[in-house]
Amino acid sequence: MFLSKPDIAVQASQPAPSWPALLRLLRVMNAAYEAGTDVQPLHQAATLAAACDLSLTAVHQGMAVLREQGIAITQQPLGYRLQRRPDLLQPGSDAVSEEGFFPWHLMFEDSCDSTNTLLMQRARQGAPHASLLLTEHQTQGRGRRGNAWHSPLGQGLAFSLLWRFDQAPPALSALSLVVGVAVARALHRFAPAVQLKWPNDLLLGQAKLGGILVEASTQPEGPLQVVIGIGLNVGPALASTVMPASMGAAAGISTDTATEVPRLDLPVASLRAADSLQPSRLAVLQQVLRELSLLLPQFTQSGFAPLLPAWQSLDAFRDRAVMLRDAAGRCVHGVSRGVDGVGALVLDTPQGEQRFVAGELSLRAAAGVGQSQ
């Protein structure tokens, strides 16, 4: 029997369902869409509970959480109904093996703490080169200085790639810039105005669309292992969602896109809000992988120099007055002149030209200062 709201309140002390349980609920309800049914059926709570091995209370709690996450579900006297098809990730290996792709080795997790953390663990256990770890939901997406991240269900892309180098490239610090060029090129199909902000942010106008986290693991013997995390906001973000102006550990950023707690800097951009085609997350992933299939091998062979002009053309802060703040809170004011051949930021300052490598730095337009000087 469908519980009334007072009944739910009485039993609200029970733990909320886990993310895997929430995804099971959503996939059961989504099965009609997958089968091509035009009219969505009404799902009784008891039927959902039996199908997902949950209590009735857990079903009701799960529905409340899913609605909070932006999933369009209506509650009716006899059950629940999906209002529109959720954008779920259920890719098979064929989704990342199209013509023109590098032979990626797909790993899919319904939920994990961090795609970068999990893939680095698997790399140490012998995961193959060009492994791709994709998840529907991250519970501990990471940003700069260990900040916590949250991504609304079904709205973002969070995935990591394992790339091995037989020898460390001379411009390894520029790898996040190379990935940025690849991702920006891929997203131009959906939003031609996407630009880059050094060292690792993707912008759409003045709002943040995503970012990149690059983490390397050296070993006494064997190749250099690098995990590249990419986070993109595809669907509409939750109300008042913001991102940090710059994210990064070592030479990159978070594998998740949405809200950092407690820093609030940039509004969030949505790829679907900028594109009338309303791309699915899988379609966006495929475009990104196609570009990475070209640029990662090129970087391995030739380094960053051949891609420097491409990055400069996408630089949102080129020839603009900026303020650079390091992890200690010190500020450097100057005019951004792009990056050099190893990916270091070049600033014209009152003390002369200075260069800064990627790391615990943030870059933002200087208050009250206009364009080029």
CATH T-level assignment (fold) for domain 316-365: SH3 type barrels. (2.30.30)
Per DSSP, the chain holds a count of helices (H) and strands (E) of 8, 19
pLDDT of residue 247: 36
pLDDT of residue 372: 42
Q: Where are the beta strands (DSSP E) in 185-343?
A: 194-197, 201-204, 207-217, 224-233, 242-243, 259-261, 266-267, 321-326, 331-339
Per-residue tens of pLDDT for the chain, all 373 residues: 333 333 333 344 567 788 889 999 999 998 877 776 767 889 999 999 999 999 999 999 999 999 988 899 999 988 999 998 888 887 665 666 666 677 899 999 988 889 999 999 999 999 999 999 999 888 776 554 454 455 677 888 999 999 999 988 888 999 999 999 999 999 999 999 999 999 999 999 888 899 899 999 877 777 899 999 999 999 875 443 444 333 333 333 233 333 333 343 567 888 887 766 688 899 999 999 999 999 999 999 999 999 999 999 999 999 999 988 876 777 889 999 999 999 999 999 999 999 988 656 667 766 544 444 4
Contact between residue 25 and residue 62 where contact means Cβ atoms under 8 Å apart: yes
Give residue limits of the domains in the chain.
5-82, 93-312, 316-365
| DSSP state letter for 343 | S
Neighbours of 226 (CB within 10 A): 24
Q: Which residues contact 193 (CB under 8 A, 6 or more apart)?
A: 204, 205, 274
Q: What is the DSSP letter of 277?
A: T
Strands 259-261 and 73-76: unpaired
Q: Which residues contact 194 (CB under 8 A, 6 or more apart)?
A: 184, 187, 188, 202, 203, 204, 209, 314
The token pair at 23 is 């995804």
- At residue 288, the pLDDT reads 95
At residue 352, the pLDDT reads: 95
Q: For position 91, what pLDDT does the model report?
A: 63
Q: Nearest 5 degrees, angle CA 94-CA 99-CA 105?
A: 45
User: Can you give the pTM of this predicted structure?
Assistant: 0.84
CATH of region 93-312, choose from 3.40.440.10, 1.10.760.10, 1.20.58.410, 3.30.930.10:
3.30.930.10
Please name the residue ranges forming H helices in the chain. 5-10, 19-34, 45-52, 56-68, 115-124, 175-187, 281-302, 308-314
Distance from C-alpha of 361 to C-alpha of 73, rounded to nearest angstrom: 42
Arch. (CATH architecture) of 5-82:
Orthogonal Bundle (1.10)
User: How far is it, in rounded angstroms, from Cα 103 to Cα 67?
Assistant: 37
pLDDT of residue 99: 61
Chain mean position to CA 317: 22
pLDDT of residue 264: 39
d(CA 194, CA 209): 8
Spatial distance between the Cα atoms of 89 and 104, rounded to a whole number of angstroms: 17
What is the dihedral angle through the alpha carbons of 102, 140, 252, 125, rounded to the nearest 10 degrees?
-50
pLDDT value, residue 358: 63
Which residue's entry shows tokens 């990916």?
Answer: 343
Sheet of 141-142, strand order: 141-142, 148-150, 259-261
Please name the residue that has the structure tokens 């709201």.
5
Strands 141-142, 148-150: pairing kind: antiparallel
Q: Output the CA torsion sign for 290, 226, 175, 210.
A: positive
Cα 321 to Cα 240: distance, rounded to the nearest angstrom: 28
Query: Using CA atoms, how far apart are residues 117 and 64, in angstroms rounded to an integer?
Result: 30
pLDDT of residue 168: 84
